Each structure stands twice: as structure tokens, then as C-alpha cells.
Amino acid sequence: MTRHYLTIVFRAKIELGDVTPHNIKQLKLLNQVVFPVSYNEKFYKDVLEAGELAKLAYYNDIVVGAVCCRVDTSENSRRLYIMTLGCLYPYRRLGIGTVMVQHVLNYVERDGNFDSIFLHVQVNNEGAIDFYKKFGFEIVETKKYYYKRIEPADAHVLQKTLRPHNQTSTQ
């Protein structure tokens, strides 16, 4: 008797979707679970107006992650600030974070007018630091007591430089 085995190849579907008034509660819940800090109503109000700079990540139609950014024009440059980028723990290492970072990189490339992308990461979050380094981010500064009410309170500033700063450098 011969047996025939059916091999099923299951391809996960990772998609990004807009943050809307209808799904903002999902973003709030996700952020509460993923991040040790809480975000205020102004954060969520700004996210609703962020357009392409705020996306929910879906894994087979389930919300499992999100990325929220804003344009920062301090320090005489135009930079993209990644406010949050996170994924639920059971769904990490499946490429979801990479899809979100790639969305951000594509956005700044299409725009063509950003000097850099930056974000803050808790100094003990080695997984996140290693993740961002894969995309060319570097630790450029460490801010003491950046976080309130969480330990450690210090944060690394990670930055990916897209074009040299306009100031003349002395080398």
C-alpha cells in the first residue's frame, strides 16, 4: 500500500494598514502591552493625523504591531522620529518589524528631503538595538533619565543618517 502525503505550505500574510478612528483603540491596546511607557491622548490625536507615518501591522489579518512616526524639524535639520515601533511578543522574528522599518525607509526615500531617522531605545533593550543596527542605525547619544517611572531610565538615541548635516564639519 502506498501512501501519499500532502504537503501544505502556509505563507503568512503581513500587511500594513492605516490607523483610523475605528481602529485607534487597537493601537492603544497594543501599545499598552508592548511598551513599558504609556502614551497620552495627544499622542493618539497626532497619530490619527499622521497619514502614512502611522501604520498598524497585520499578520494574517490580526493586528500584531504598529509603527508611529512624526517629522521633527529641530536642530536645523528635517528628521523623521520613530515614536513607537513594536510587535506583540509571540509574533516577533517573523519579519513584521522589518516590514514596518521598510515602510519608514521607503517613506523617507520617496520624500527625499530628510537628513536622518532617529528614535529612543531603553539602554537595556539589546534586542531592539541589534534590530535597528541591521538597518544602518547607530547609537549617537545616550540620554540620562530620559524615561520617567521605568528602570533603567536611560535611553540610547539611535540614528540612521540619510545625508550629511548642512553644517560644515571640521575633520
Active centre residues (catalytic): 81, 120
Which residue has cell 501591522? Answer: 57
CA 15/CA 17 separation, integer angstroms? 7
Rounded CA separation 80/166 (Å): 16
Rounded to 5°, angle at Cα 30 from 33 and 35:
45
Peptide bond into 152 cis (omega under 30): yes
- The answer to whether the CB of 20 falls within 8 A of the CB of 71 is no
